[in-house]
Structure 1
Amino acid sequence: MNTGDKSAHEVLWNPPPEARARTRIGDFMQWVARDRETDFADYAELWRWSVDDLAGFWSAIWNYFDVPAYSQPTEILADADRMPDTRWFPGATLNYAQAVLRMPGLADGDTAVIAHSQTRRAVHYTAAELREQVARARQGLFRLGVRRGDRVAAYLPNIPETLVLLLAAASLGATFASCPPEFGVRSVLDRLGQIDPKVLVVVDGYRYGRKSIDRSAEIREIRTALTGLGQLVVLPYLDPSAAPGPGAISWDQLVAHSGELTFEPVPFEHPLYVLYSSGTTGLPKPIVHGHGGILLEHMKSLALHHDLGPGDRFFWFTTTGWMMWNYLVSGLAVGSAVVMYDGDPAYPDPTRLWQLASISHTTYLGTSAPFLLACRKAGVSPRAAADLSALRGLGSTGAPLPAEGYRWVYEHVAPDIYFASISGGTDLCTAFIGGAPVLPVRAGVMACRALGAAVQSIDEEGWQMIGREGELVIGKPMPSMPIGFWGDADRARYRSAYFAAIPGLWRHGDWITIAADGSCVIGGRSDATLNRGGVRLGTAEFYSAVESLPEIRDSLVIHLSDNDSGTDELLLFVVLDAGCVLDARLRERIAARLRDELSPRHVPDEIHCVREVPRTLSGKKLEVPVKRILRGELPETVSAPGVLADPEALTPFIELHAHRTGAPAIVAAIDS
């Protein structure tokens, strides 16, 4: 949030008068009033009930969405006051794939999946065709010996076959995991090596922008290293005529035989898939999510917060290495068709995603804050470049979006669109802060805490705060909190990751300010905080100030402090627009902007120009890994190249550390 901008909280959109009557969250409120004889005047009252009466709320979600189950729960939650040991819906058995493939509101002949790609022609599946493909893949996996509890892994992009594989594995009670093919060998093995998959499905390569990328050599290395692998399946994607190679079978062979589409009944907490942390600060955490928790959370979030249902086409630009891909798949569970894209979102120009939304008649488009800001910087006006008449909702995540990003959406995408900037994470595979279609949208502000998410802001002594920035914690259990980490039998690693710092509370690692009306502003990562002379500031606010200057395309700020040595340095790295120069005049303008909008203490000691800010593949800035490099840690211990959008982006920081410590290195990439 840019505190110097007096219009930062201006209302950009108000829900129409009929919103409560026409939205899914409004329908849910009416259903609760009838079924539970509990009425709510507004969203705030609904949210308060959802966190005060967890059993009542989540049983309402179960019943409202008519979750298909083989056996009903004996209770809603047990040990509710023993987070993280809460047990949800004990006694219930169900299957995520069955609920997804029910696709409520979609007839057999209705479009269920639309997939565009830079590598091959577009693919469309009707609801009936999708079920048939899943049945075939299920039959193929069964023939390969996959049973309940086995792991099925994918080295695949965001294409229909990956979705089919996930649902086929889930239907058998097997556990799924995926890595996008842009991951290098080390990144894949760091992840899949932890779960010992029985079957691995891969593509031979893919196209991205102007490049064709062959993955044959990487696949050979991965296959050799995964010593417990039972079968390799190759999808000839880059070269349709490519043979699978010795000892492997093709995707066509896997799905050659039709079969009955049946589903293994599994307990609510049975492992559905393993998601991985970014791996920027060590070996990626293998986060295990369960069938029931993911199903309930995603149905709630997609239907009630994004207002998705039958008749919608849901498109979130993502890769299979980001939890938003799993979120996208669940769109089918609420009756929406899903739109997939594999390729460069800015190729051949920055209007590519908007054009795809137009072609596919997308009704809800999701992307990242960095992408929206890049479009703004590039002068893109999507409403002028594409027919977005079908688009009624837009989502953003991956990083906090400053107020100017919100205003750009309403000026250049659509003046009457429902826009939601959301925040959550891989750890819960959802957003716990975002929007609701019955709440106004204000510049730079996330409208609400999500239903069922007891998000709090606490101070250093653990007291809850309103109107002041504090540590983001979740005070009560949620069904999509992980079952645990793979291989962490006593859950010690899981407890250490989220509950050790503040016992009894989930610590997420962000700064948050919660207003009296429940709206929220994320201030950045709490482990990357700027704290000079007792003046604490989240990095999101810093970036908003710096990147509002027209010359600056991107930025990264690092605070190096050490009480023992007396170090207290603030280093700013900027990426400039073409033709701009980091001269004395621009340095002073940057300093003046930070001095005026933040504080004199937040004027950097040094400002450097770099070619690119290091980011993960999902667009997150690598603040902590860069800080560790500048403190002298080895690059290979703080990040894996395969998780970075551009591994070379770390080079300037490695060389800067060498230069500052007197090591024999040349800082060639700094200020170039």
Structure 2
Amino acid sequence: MSTDTDLLWSPSPAWAERSNVAGFLHFLDETRGLRLTGYPELWRWSIGDLPGFWSAVWEYYGLDAVSGYDEVLADAAMPGATWFPGARLNFAERCFAQSTDERPALVSLTEGGEPVETSWRRLRRDVAALAAALREMGVRPGDRVAGYLPNTPHAVTAVLAAAAVGAVWTVCSPDFGTPSVLARLRQAEPTVLLAVDGYRHGGKEYDRLPAVAEITAGLPTLRHLVTIDHLHRSSPASAWSPRADLVQHPWAALLAEDARLEFADVPFDHPLWILWSSGTTGLPKGIVQSHGSIVVELLKALGLGTDLRGDDRYFFHTSTGWMVWNFMVGGLLHGSTLVLYDGSPTHPDVDAVWRVAERTRASVVGVGAAYLIAAEKADAHPAAELDLGSLRTVLQTGSTLPPSTWRWVYDRLGPDVWLQSICGGTDVCSVLAGASALLPVRVGRIPCPALGVALAAWDPAGRPLTGEQGELVVTASLPSMPLHFVGDPDSSRYRAAYFDVYPGVWRHGDWVTVEEDLTVVVAGRSDSTLNRMGVRMGSADIYSVVEQLPEVADSLVIGAELADGRYLMPLFVVLAEGAVLDDPQRGRIAAAIRHELSPRHVPDLIVEVPAVPRTLTGKRLEVPVKRILQGARVADVSTEGAVTHPEMLAWFAEFAAGAANRA
């Protein structure tokens, strides 16, 4: 359990009272006669009365004035629960419900550029023009529209236009390798692709015209290409695609047309978008979510969880290929201004994200854990160097934070900043466990399960655990659980992904500990757990110790059951500049793990590597490397273009070939 020395932040009475979740509690009191005191009681009610809770969310956010419904939860079974049958609403229409005036809807900037504001009125006009153009191209509700776009206003305009038409949106970031893009978009079978000629990152320009040509050649369903000169050069049609049958439409010409914004009237479960799994363990899974599910989930998650408000400037450093981009776009449902940054978080230095926050007056900033860890290692002091007076809260996700990094946030960003560590995923496009404006923040602990999320830790037999590590499960349906996967007509892949261990109960694939006070500690992926002599430990625990050593810049630990029955646990380390991995250094690493963590989890081998391969959203490739060590071919565990440092996978294959002689 936590101690008082772990306490980093507590909401003042005034802070708590003016929060959205406090307003929701007052609403429940006034309209339902429910007098719930505090977050734990509210959460228990929210999972104990799903129809009551979600109907209250529906009314609190004014959806009762938009559409009625037959019932809240017609079928509660997982998978396949049926939410709000009879309801009709359009995601794009709800995004424009809050504001149509001259306030900025978007503030965007690229590396080295100045912030550019797009008003709500201008965004509405652009979406109307693009939606009308899509309809003229023959796009109808249910058709697929794809993007090959960075995090710019083009992408936000495109997702809203596709949603307005009732088309199904999907996007790949242009930093994805071409095989990785095709592995996704071939499954989606789009008829329209919106693509840029390139992007900027780390002080360099990357020409993507050859990639666009290859992508369009590899998508037989494609009929139209919308070309976007993002690098501000005029490219001839022949440079974009070799296909003579493909009709090309310059972005600027489409948006020059005036049109009336019309929204397709679609049912609650009409597909909105396809999100993709990482593609590091085989063919990427295309996860389909619906208009209604995303509207109610992101109204709840961003409003009652994150405490997002209409006057916020909401900045998440992300590419379009990470689900937090969609989570950020959901800020429009609350009338918030989105801050879009197309560039590196560490160029020209590690304060790049905070410099964007300063220049755009961002109040809510989201980052991956790796960025905060890098800032700590660089001994950065953003609050001392920059004006972060508008910053109210920092969202952190992607992986767990070492305890020292939690403290770094409060030391270097300020004691009044609210750090929200959140756990969720692409699978639900939202948060399973996060923060609440009613609860304190303590080192290493996510404050609570999210409202409406029946989260628990279970042992292998399906028994709930308190204060002990177990599988993260969700025991009751959520609206934003996938409708289905692309190309999975019998739902066999869907069931295998989440329901193979506990039938009828969602298994998320993380090890967690849920305490009596509802705080949650995430230990890492359960399929990459370190299990030495029956004692399980999350890989994040190893990283939190090893990466505090100044000689270690990055690390990867694997626990692999080998074919001969042995259990091999190597630790791979990337050394800091000037460091040497000799026997004394190996001894220091082993001693740190032994004394600070567990003598059982001292690695069998400590091996220097040039780099740690990660997904394009920054997650270590623990499971693919584990499978390689167990004998899998590189081609069977990773899609080309889906990872950083792909050459390392061949390195691990060579390592695996000699593993029998190394342990």
Q: Do they fold alike, i.e. is TM over 0.5?
A: yes
Query: How far apart, CA to CA, are the structure 2 residues paired with 1:222 and 1:275?
Result: 18
Matches within 5 A, 1:129-168: 129-168=122-161
- Which deviates more, 245-254 or 623-632? 245-254
Q: Which residue in the other structure is 1:481 paired with?
A: 481
Residues of 1 paired with 2:268 and 2:67: CA distance?
10
**Preserved CA contact (<8 Å) 2:7 2:441:** yes
Q: Deviations over 1:215-265 (max 9, x none)?
A: 111111111111111101110112432234464221112223111111111
Aligned residue number for residue 437 of structure 2: 437
* Alignment pair present for 1:512 and 2:505: no
Secondary structure of the corresponding residue to residue 256 of structure 2:
coil
Provide the residue aligned with 1:32 in structure 2. Answer: 28
Distance in 1 between residues matched to 2:5 and 2:570, nearest whole Å: 29
Deviation of the 1:495 alpha carbon: 1.4
2:185 aligned residue (161, 183, 192): 192
Which residue of 2 is the match for residue 21 of structure 1? 17
Q: Which residue of 2 aligns with 1:336?
A: 336
SS in 2 for 1:202: strand
The structure-2 alpha-carbon separation of the partners of 1:337 and 1:21, relative to structure 1 and needing over 3 Å to count, comes to: same
Q: Report if aligned partners of 1:140, 1:256 keep a CA contact under 8 Å in 2.
A: no
Structure 1: stretches of 5+ with no match in the other structure? 668-672
CA distance in 2, matches of 1:635, 1:8: 48
Shift of 1:661: 6.2
Amino acid at match of 1:101: F
Q: Secondary structure at the match of 2:573?
A: strand
Is the CA contact (8 Å cut-off) linking 1:236 and 1:243 kept in structure 2? Answer: no
State which of 90, 95, 99 in structure 1 corresponds to 2:90. Answer: 95
Say if 2:100 and 2:124, in contact at 8 Å, map to a contact too: no
Is the counterpart of residue 569 in structure 1 residue 568 in structure 2?
yes
**Alpha-carbon deviation of 1:121?**
5.3
Corresponding residue of 1:670: none
Q: Percent identity?
A: 46
Contact 1:456 1:475 in 2 (8 A): yes
Inter-partner Cα distance in structure 2 for 1:391 and 1:509: 33
How far apart are the structure 2 equivalents of 1:265 and 1:399? 38
Counterpart of 2:403 in structure 1 is: 403
- 1:659 is displaced (CA, Å) by 4.3
SS at match of 1:453: coil
Equivalent of 2:176 in 166, 175, 183:
183
| Equivalent position SS for 2:614 | coil
- TM-score where L is the length of structure 1: 0.95
RMSD over equivalenced CA pairs, Å: 1.7
Residues 1:265 and 2:260 aligned together: no
The letter of the residue matching 2:96 is: L
Whole-angstrom distance in 1 between the partners of 2:621 and 2:263: 41
Counterparts of residues 155-554 of structure 1 (less than 5 Å): 155-245=148-238, 247-554=247-554
* Residues 337-346 or 580-589, more deviating: 580-589
Aligned length: 655
CA distance in 2, matches of 1:340, 1:649: 32
Q: Is the 8 A contact 1:68 1:94 kept in 2?
A: no
The TM-score normalised by the length of structure 2 is 0.96
> Cα offset for 1:53?
0.4
Q: For 1:174 and 1:294, how far apart are their aligned partners in 2? A: 15
Q: In 1, Cα distance between the equivalents of 2:173 and 2:237? A: 19
Counterpart of 2:578 in 1: which secondary structure? coil
SS of the counterpart of 1:573? Answer: strand
The aligned residue for residue 614 of structure 2 is 615
Structure 2 CA distance for partners of 1:9 and 1:442, relative to 1, 3 Å: farther
Structure 2: where are the runs of 5+ without partners?
Answer: 239-243
Q: CA deviation at 1:84?
A: 1.4
Q: What whole-Å deviation, never above 9, does each CA across 1:101-122 have from its counterpart, x for those lacking one?
A: 12x2x46011110011138654
Counterpart of 2:52 in structure 1 is 56
Q: 8 Å contact 1:120–1:237 — kept in the other structure?
A: no
Q: Structure 1 residues 648 and 378, CA, compared in 2 at 3 Å: closer, same or farther?
A: farther
Q: Contact 2:104–2:120 (CA<8 Å) still a contact in 1?
A: yes
The SS at the match of 2:349 is coil
Among 115, 118, 131, the alignment partner of 2:111 is 118
User: Measured at CA, do residues 643 and 256 of structure 1 come closer, stay the same or move farther in structure 2, by a change above 3 Å?
Assistant: same
Which amino acid letter does the alignment assign opposite residue 160 of structure 2?
Answer: L
Does residue 85 (structure 1) correspond to residue 80 (structure 2)? The answer is yes
Report the CA distance shift for 1:461/1:595 in structure 2 as closer, same or farther (over 3 A). Answer: same
Tell me the SS of whatever aligns to 2:85.
coil
User: What one-letter code is carried by the residue in structure 2 that aligns with 1:626?
Assistant: V
Q: How far 1:658 sits from its partner (Å)?
A: 3.7
For residues 204 and 231 of structure 2, the distance between their equivalents in structure 1, rounded to whole angstroms, comes to: 11
Offset at residue 633 of structure 1 (A): 1.6
- Counterpart in the other structure of 2:241: none
Q: Secondary structure at the match of 2:631?
A: coil
- Which residue identity does 1:42 align to in structure 2? G
Partner of 2:42: 46
The residue identity in structure 2 corresponding to 1:426 is T
